[in-house]
Structure 1
């Protein structure tokens, strides 16, 4: 299932996390998203959206290619 993400008038996401939708501010700590990705893989799938603060505001992702590489490495080292 894919969510169409929407925002309110203040720019915050209106979609709340669920068992198939999770938000992360960044991937600087790869152990954070790994359990979520494994759960998505073992279930009906899901979406991990990077660049969202705890208050559902959208934030800048610093060096996204580096974060992607860290996530890939964490899978290889498991």
Structure 2
């Protein structure tokens, strides 16, 4: 009969072989590939949001400039 330490070593060895098997590596590669695709999607979305925010900011600045010119003309 195996003691607890021997059982742990045996399970650890089996677990290590399973984790380093070709099939497991394929699964890990698939997971990492999905993570990379998700990262790319997030970055693309962030770029679009940033561009949109820049457009909104530029338009808001133009509105304020036009408003300030109107107020200046009214106060002459």
TM-score band w.r.t. shorter chain: under 0.3
Which of the pair has more CA radius of gyration? 2
Q: TM-score, structure 1 length as denominator?
A: 0.21
**Structure with more of its chain in strand, by fraction:** 1
